[in-house]
Amino acid sequence: LVRIYLWADAELWHDEVITLGDFAIGPPDRGIAHVFRSYPVANNHILFSAVAYWWVRFTGFSLAEYLLRLPSILCGAATIVLLPVLWRRWLDRRVALLVALTFAISPVFTAFAYQFRGYALTMLLTLLAAAGVAEVSSGRLAKGLRLQLPAMVLLPLVMPSNVLLAFSHALFIVLWRGSGVSALRQIGRAHV
């Protein structure tokens, strides 16, 4: 928070303005469906744009930069907080805390985590999906799938290119658990 404090209240930059104008505020006659149907440029991080659409209405169309960016900042903060919680089993508690601290001070993470865009949401969902992979690989299929499957479904809704990550995770499940049919049976049993 100390690192991004000045950035959070800085003027919106070009891509954030496009997200705000084209998707969050959007054409007044089109409603939220416009967010899901319009992909003229890669600036539409679709699921984030839908959250932003409701967020600007919740805040009364406030254009205060720090308020607009609050959902992204919360996703970034959740990523840092959840990282040591989800990864302490594999990294040891101290190492997991050190990794979370590294994220918190990383110029790449902090430069994107505050933006009025879908990057922080993508990072949070990716953390959940990766924790799911670790759980599956440790033999905790049901717990792993509860983390991984929602993230795999939501990631492409944030940015369509995230389908590659979702595909790689689905491939991991199939390869890790044996043949595709066997994996589907095990997934079905894990949910029962």
- For 61-104, the DSSP string reads S---HHHHTHHHHHHHHHHHHHHHHHHHHHH-HHHHHHHHHHHH
C-beta separation of 4 from 113 below 8 A? yes
Give, in degrees to the nearest 5, the angle at Cα 42 between 41 and 46.
Answer: 105
Q: CA 72 to CA 19: how far, in whole Å?
A: 13
pLDDT digits (tens, 9 = 90+) for 9-44: 888 999 999 999 988 998 777 788 888 887 777 778
pLDDT digits (tens, 9 = 90+) for 111-141: 899 899 999 999 999 999 999 988 888 888 8
The first and second tokens of residue 107, run together, are 């110029």
- For 114-138, the DSSP string reads TSSSSHHHHHHHHHHHHHHHHHHHT
Q: Which of 62-76, 97-111, 159-173 has the lowest mean pLDDT?
A: 159-173
Closest to 122 (Cα-Cα) out of 192, 64, 71, 183: 71
